[in-house]
Amino acid sequence: MSTSPEQLSTQGIAAGWHPDRVTRVRALLANHQIDALIVPRWDRHHFEYVPLANEWLAYLTGFSGSWGMGILTQEELILFVDGRYQEQAHSQPNAAALQIFHLHDYPPAQWLEECTQEGWRIAFDAQVLSPTAHDQLAKACKSTGATLLPVVDGFIDDCWPERPAYPLSLANVVSDEWAGQSVTTKCDAVAEWLRCSGAAFLVDVLPDNVAWLLNLRGRDLDYCPVLLGRILISDDGKVDLFANAEQLADAERALSERVTLHQPNDFLNIIAKRAKSANTILLDGTQGPQAAREMLERHGIRVLQQTSAITHLKAIKNATELGSMADAAMRESGAWVQLLHWLDRQLDDGLTPSEFDVEGKLEEFRWKIPDYCGCSFRTISAADGNAAHAHYAAPAEGGRLIRKESIFLLDAGGQYRSGGTTDTTRTWCFSEASPEALNDATLALKGHIALAGQTFPDGTLDHNLDVLARSAAWQHYRDYDHGTGHGVGHFLSVHEFPQRLRKEVSGTPLREGMVITIEPGLYRNGVHGIRHEILYEIVAAPQTGWLKFKPLAFVPFCRLLIDLSLLDESETAWIDHYHQQTREQLSTLGLSADERRWLLNQTRPL
Amino acid sequence: MSTSPEQLSTQGIAAGWHPDRVTRVRALLANHQIDALIVPRWDRHHFEYVPLANEWLAYLTGFSGSWGMGILTQEELILFVDGRYQEQAHSQPNAAALQIFHLHDYPPAQWLEECTQEGWRIAFDAQVLSPTAHDQLAKACKSTGATLLPVVDGFIDDCWPERPAYPLSLANVVSDEWAGQSVTTKCDAVAEWLRCSGAAFLVDVLPDNVAWLLNLRGRDLDYCPVLLGRILISDDGKVDLFANAEQLADAERALSERVTLHQPNDFLNIIAKRAKSANTILLDGTQGPQAAREMLERHGIRVLQQTSAITHLKAIKNATELGSMADAAMRESGAWVQLLHWLDRQLDDGLTPSEFDVEGKLEEFRWKIPDYCGCSFRTISAADGNAAHAHYAAPAEGGRLIRKESIFLLDAGGQYRSGGTTDTTRTWCFSEASPEALNDATLALKGHIALAGQTFPDGTLDHNLDVLARSAAWQHYRDYDHGTGHGVGHFLSVHEFPQRLRKEVSGTPLREGMVITIEPGLYRNGVHGIRHEILYEIVAAPQTGWLKFKPLAFVPFCRLLIDLSLLDESETAWIDHYHQQTREQLSTLGLSADERRWLLNQTRPL
């Protein structure tokens, strides 16, 4: 076996699946008297993205989706995936070699409860599994008399000859001025939080939390400028950073004096050392790791399982962060206007660019922005029926062409070195829309306006606002099967926690200084997908104790997709005001005369 | 000491407070080497109402509110009450004898953590305390080395010479036809639920659950026609009922053959007996009792703490229940129209009836309805500033008079033997309203309409709809500090669980056949209170998988409190349609010619 170019992507790793992979892991398990191995999609960082080197689930099962879990026994290879991925899993080339279950309807814990036997030894990587996941699996094992066995690393690395290299990008320290706050100030805020919780220190494995706290950025992952580090921070504001020293070679001198650097493998040892004088520590139960929790509890230390203090503090952006995020979103809006103008002209000229062409063209316009440094997620450039797929990625060849009669959805975001992460969606058409498309687009727009125009009490729980974006669609028996909005980072993750607008309980109080998307949509399988997404800052309303949304991105809505007969006066006024702001905001961007004319026309009062 | 007439109400028990009460209990505690005694407001049934005999908190602390907790030590008498009751507790005559804390800001568990000492023995009634409450207190005790000691009865009964008699009302069995479902069918449904949960039996202490399951009604409490019984129901659908045999003397022969009657004191013994062959049982952790949970877990039985299956099954009304509830609400609406017409005429005649007069007059009209049998809660008849108090009760003497310039709020509900419990609120005025009242009333009405007119997917979580009723008010920086709606029983509790419309997470999926109120309001301290409440049935919308609200009560809205300039066309149409239904629904009720004219005028199109 040799390294193949297929190893350069998750899809490549999955496509290269061969039964030998499974045979090798089984042999290793047999050597260690292990009866079953738990293989999650995530790694030690519980982040949205994992480096290729940690695509264990793709390697073992050939499944390339973004979420799932595998269990390997000597007899079976089992894959658990959610509703989004049922079709993909069942049609992947090696599907016959798998047992595929629904992650929610028949979760791994239930399989363990029904299919394991007394005396079985079931291995999991205790630096990867979270306490929450561990407890579910442990409870199931207990019921059959099986043992859940923590191991160091998950066995697969040793059976993966052509495993991609673990990322070792050079990290850099950003200035206090750029971040708007010094590391000292941030660490003091976390320390204060810990003292209020009565906790001696906090364990945090989230790379974007590490990046924010230490004013550090890296390039270990696509789409998100982070270093794959983990930290402890104590109630005196001192930080232990666990990361590869070579990645910090350039940055180490600039690191705050609060920070002590350790090799990643010292993580548990240092936790043990710091814990000697601790009664209580904080750790996010959904992240962990279980290895730390187990060790601490064994020594009689109380482990408070809570969302990290850093996740909460990072969510409230400071004035500098908000300023650079607004600036980046405004400049990216210019690229969108150029793209949409270009697309209109292409179709006027009788051309039919492909989805992939449009995706590339947007990149071309964005790379002209001096501090642009890449996408914040894989662009969704989708025409007609393709836009009804949740996470469509246009292929270089064979995607749809955009024609006069197309309904075209573009969902894209960028990373900006001056300090911004963006996320925008527009749906466009180029001739009279079908009644269904016109209706769906207008209902989704009404939902967007109802939520975006809402004033609400400071501290309103995020999920409580979700229904405002659905109300208009529900009156027509229409709904969308995704959340309504998510937090966005400051040159960090485009899906930042903790705030979420969605039906499910999230429970985060909304506060001034948070940044969040609003993105209701409506979809018809095989026909079209419509979504209207804008990035908003949560700002103080004129009356104390009340908040509202202020748009950060300014891209016109497609006039051909607005049915004025469905809008009331206040909704029309909202759109006109947003379009007027769009004209004003983008006036300084140096658009061409033709682009400016196009923008004026698109943003004239309805 | 002798029994006084003051013992006939909670207020009387509280008002009769004397330090001797505390001295007697302290002596008893000392005899038993108890350092502190926990005294909750609730009793074994965890119901909204308790019989006077169980008003332990009122007896010991002189506090007559509906929620709170006390702790008695040899040195201190501590009362914990929530925000609603701070003022009342601090101004009660014996306030100087108490330490008063905020139930949520400084809860009993925190007091235990800070003020108890190693070796302390802290007593609680283990048939009263719920597992949830127990665990919070136990955790606090553990941190100081104190012991939480379960006792039989809470000591106070033995120190209460003039304690009111425990209610022993005769219960009656209602027919299957009246209930719409036989006890056998209901028990089979619970048994099926238990088998699906893998539980051998369910412990249920809620008297309205007992009443519903066994087609049984009683008169043990004011406002709610129940017998204070507790039950076990097993996975073969057999029921152990724990209640006083003398109360069932008339009913025993009619009781289902599924039911075995036991004396109340056999409760724990029978649980122990039934548990011998059980692995798992169900018990509501917020109700308990802790005594059962503790005993079961000690014997290695798994106790699933979940909302009772009966609470869930009872919430979905059958066609008979829905029919009689609609009929009762419609007939009660007639009494409301008579009352409002009478009130209008009184003021036209230059009279100024008191709040208490109006409350009495409503009773007079309601008692003319043949099957009316009393209020479902104490009527709130409140003029102007009094209506801004959450649970105002008009005094017989000294309440406000209703004048031409008053804003008058009436919130009342009835119990109907033919099968109905109702709850309605209207706010009325008699001359041009102040701009503030007009604005508040119209905003609250817009909220009511937005929610009542909403179509929503089957299974939408109840709390997700709450914001629709607040949205209009929020745009004007106005809000109300109470829930938006609650379930209502079938000749049972007016505040029935599990469904709740409110900001806080409730998490109950809304289903066809549920009955629920919608009641947004707006309040100005010392000035006025406004609320618009209608009882609704949740019905199927024309499209499969979608639900909507159908009004059950029909009382006009006060036209002088509607600012048409704030309503859009669809809102005006909603009111006109509701008023048209009101005319039609009440046309058969035998109103007088003058009442009919008044109704026609009140319900003419806006």
A413-453 pLDDT, tens digit per residue, is 999 999 999 999 999 999 999 999 999 999 999 999 999 99
The model's confidence at residue A1, banded by pLDDT at 50, 70 and 90, is very low
Give tens-digit pLDDT for B299-329: 999 999 999 999 999 999 999 999 999 999 9
- pTM value is 0.94
Distance (Å) from the C-alpha of residue A318 to the closest C-alpha of chain B? 25
Q: Does A457 touch chain B (CB under 8 A)?
A: yes
Q: List the single residue in A468, A543, A568 with the smallest CB-CB distance to B467.
A: A468
Residues 436-455, chain A, touching B (beta carbon < 8 A):
450, 454-455
Distance (Å) from the C-alpha of residue B512 to the closest C-alpha of chain A? 16
pLDDT, average across residues B253-265: 91
Residue A490's CB is within 10 A of a number of other CB atoms, namely: 26
Place of tokens 């909750």: B40
CB burial of residue A472 (10 Å; 0-12, 13-18, 19+) = buried
Give tens-digit pLDDT for A502-526: 999 999 999 999 999 999 999 999 9
The model's confidence at residue A390, banded by pLDDT at 50, 70 and 90, is confident
Give the single-character DSSP code of B120. -
**Phi, psi (rounded to 5 degrees) for B302:** -80, 125
Give tens-digit pLDDT for A57-66: 999 999 999 8
Q: Are A89 and A95 in contact (CB under 8 A)?
A: yes
**pLDDT given for residue B382 in this prediction:** 97
Q: Which of A119, A125, A122 is nearest to A111 (CA)?
A: A122
Q: Does B471 touch chain A (CB under 8 A)?
A: yes
Strand A456-457 relative to strand A546-551: parallel, antiparallel, unpaired? antiparallel
Mean pLDDT of chain A: 95
**Phi, psi (rounded to 5 degrees) for B80:** -110, 120
Which positions ≥6 away from A152 have C-beta within 8 Å?
Answer: A125, A126, A127
Q: Does B465 touch chain A (CB under 8 A)?
A: yes
Residue B323's CB is within 10 A of a number of other CB atoms, namely: 15
The model's confidence at residue A2, banded by pLDDT at 50, 70 and 90, is very low
β-bridge mates for residue A548, sequence order: A539
CA distance linking residue B468 with residue A404, whole number of Å: 39
Share of chain B above pLDDT 70, in %: 99
CA distance linking residue A444 with residue A522, whole number of Å: 6
* Tokens matching residue A459: 């501290």
**pLDDT given for residue B8 in this prediction:** 82
Q: Chain B residue closest to A475 (CA)? A: B455
- Which has the minimum average pLDDT: A63-67, A119-123, A328-332? A63-67
pLDDT, average across residues A231-248: 96
The model's confidence at residue B1, banded by pLDDT at 50, 70 and 90, is very low
**pLDDT given for residue A137 in this prediction:** 96
CB pair distance less than 8 Å for A541 and B467: no
The model's confidence at residue B3, banded by pLDDT at 50, 70 and 90, is very low
User: Distances from the Cα of A317 to the Cαs of A175, A452, A550, in angstroms?
Assistant: 16, 19, 14
Q: Are A296 and A304 in contact (CB under 8 A)?
A: no
Helices (H), B373-490: 435-452, 471-474
CB pair distance less than 8 Å for A461 and B503: yes
The model's confidence at residue B6, banded by pLDDT at 50, 70 and 90, is low
Q: List the single residue in A464, A474, A546 with the smallest CB-CB distance to B503.
A: A464
Sign of CA dihedral A205, A208, A212, A217: positive
The model's confidence at residue A332, banded by pLDDT at 50, 70 and 90, is very high
Residues of B in contact with A455 (CB under 8 A): 474-475, 477
Place of tokens 């019984």: B229
CB pair distance less than 8 Å for A467 and B463: no
CB pair distance less than 8 Å for B471 and A454: yes
**pLDDT given for residue B268 in this prediction:** 95
**ipTM of the complex, rounded to two decimals:** 0.93
Give tens-digit pLDDT for A164-180: 999 999 999 999 999 99
CB pair distance less than 8 Å for A507 and B505: yes
**pLDDT given for residue A249 in this prediction:** 87
**pLDDT given for residue A5 in this prediction:** 53
Give the single-character DSSP code of B469. G
Q: Which of A364, A244, A292 is nearest to A125 (CA)?
A: A292
Q: Does B541 touch chain A (CB under 8 A)?
A: yes
Q: Kindly report the CA angle at B282 between B281 and B283, in degrees rounded to 5?
A: 125
CB pair distance less than 8 Å for B477 and A541: yes
β-bridge mates for residue B549, sequence order: B538
CB pair distance less than 8 Å for B463 and A466: no
Give tens-digit pLDDT for A521-569: 999 999 999 999 999 999 999 999 999 999 999 999 999 999 999 999 9
CA distance linking residue A539 with residue A178, whole number of Å: 21
For an interface test with A, give the residue of B468, B471, B566 to mutate (most A CBs within 10 A).
Answer: B471
CB pair distance less than 8 Å for B455 and A468: no
Judged against a pLDDT cut of 70, whether residue A6 lies above it is answered with no
Q: Are B325 and B419 in contact (CB under 8 A)?
A: yes
SS3 content of chain B, % helix, strand, coil (to 5): 40, 20, 40
Q: List the single residue in A461, A475, A505 with the smallest CB-CB distance to B455.
A: A475
Residues 567-606, chain B, touching A (beta carbon < 8 A):
568
**pLDDT given for residue B350 in this prediction:** 97
Q: Which of B388, B582, B586, B413 is nearest to B493 (CA)?
A: B413
* Tokens matching residue A358: 């449009």
CB pair distance less than 8 Å for B464 and A461: no
Q: List the single residue in A457, A460, A471 with the smallest CB-CB distance to B468.
A: A471
The model's confidence at residue A4, banded by pLDDT at 50, 70 and 90, is low
3-state secondary structure of A89: helix
Judged against a pLDDT cut of 80, whether residue A366 lies above it is answered with yes
CA distance linking residue A118 with residue A448, whole number of Å: 54
- Which has the minimum average pLDDT: A126-130, A394-398, B249-253? B249-253
Residues of B in contact with A463 (CB under 8 A): 464
Q: Chain A residue closest to B469 (CA)? A: A468
Residues of B in contact with A545 (CB under 8 A): 477
The model's confidence at residue B253, banded by pLDDT at 50, 70 and 90, is confident
Sign of CA dihedral B398, B401, B405, B409: positive
CB pair distance less than 8 Å for B507 and A505: yes
CB pair distance less than 8 Å for A463 and B464: yes
Q: Which of B529, B531, B589 is nearest to B336 (CA)?
A: B589
Give the single-character DSSP code of B363. H
Share of chain B above pLDDT 90, in %: 93
Distance (Å) from the C-alpha of residue A58 to the closest C-alpha of chain B? 35
Judged against a pLDDT cut of 80, whether residue B422 lies above it is answered with yes
Q: Give the DSSP letter string of A292-320.
A: HHHHHHHTT-EEEE---HHHHHHHS--HH
Distance (Å) from the C-alpha of residue B25 to the closest C-alpha of chain A? 37
Q: List the single residue in A456, A503, A507 with the smallest CB-CB distance to B464.
A: A503
Judged against a pLDDT cut of 80, whether residue B46 lies above it is answered with yes
Share of chain A above pLDDT 90, in %: 93
CA distance linking residue B595 with residue B340, whole number of Å: 9
Strand A239-242 relative to strand A380-383: parallel, antiparallel, unpaired? unpaired
CA trace torsion B152, B153, B158, B162 (10° rounding): -160
CA distance linking residue A358 with residue A387, whole number of Å: 14
CA distance linking residue B132 with residue B129, whole number of Å: 8
CB pair distance less than 8 Å for B474 and A568: no
Sign of CA dihedral A289, A292, A294, A297: negative
CB pair distance less than 8 Å for A466 and B461: no
CB pair distance less than 8 Å for A467 and B464: yes
Q: List the single residue in A461, A507, A543 with the smallest CB-CB distance to B477.
A: A543
User: Distances from the Cα of A67 to the Cαs of A223, B89, B359, in angstroms?
Assistant: 17, 54, 61
Q: Which of B67, B46, B372 is nearest to B225 (CA)?
A: B372
Distance (Å) from the C-alpha of residue B465 to the closest C-alpha of chain A? 7
Q: List the single residue in A456, A467, A479 with the smallest CB-CB distance to B474.
A: A456
pLDDT, average across residues A5-13: 79
Count of A-B CB contacts under 8 Å: 56
Q: Give the DSSP letter string of B229-264.
A: -EEEEETTS-EEEES-GGGGTTTGGGS-TTEEEE-G
pLDDT, average across residues A44-52: 94
CA distance linking residue B397 with residue A122, whole number of Å: 75
Residues of A in contact with B479 (CB under 8 A): 457
Rounded to the nearest angstrom, the gap between the alpha carbon of residue A524 and the centroid of all alpha carbons in its chain is 25
The model's confidence at residue B4, banded by pLDDT at 50, 70 and 90, is low
Residue A131 preceded by cis peptide, ω within 30: no
3-state secondary structure of A592: coil
Give the max Cα distance, chain B.
76
3-state secondary structure of A556: coil
Burial letters B268-291, b for 16+ CB under 10 A, else e: beebeebbeebebbbbbbebbbbb
User: Distances from the Cα of B271 to the Cαs of B127, B232, B279, B491, in angstroms?
Assistant: 13, 8, 13, 29
CB pair distance less than 8 Å for A457 and B475: no
Distance (Å) from the C-alpha of residue B114 to the closest C-alpha of chain A? 14
CA distance linking residue B170 with residue B183, whole number of Å: 19
CA distance linking residue A481 with residue A489, whole number of Å: 24
Give the max Cα distance, chain A.
76
pLDDT, average across residues A324-347: 98
CB pair distance less than 8 Å for B541 and A477: yes
Q: Kindly report the CA angle at B550 between B547 and B551, in degrees rounded to 5?
A: 155
**pLDDT given for residue A525 in this prediction:** 92
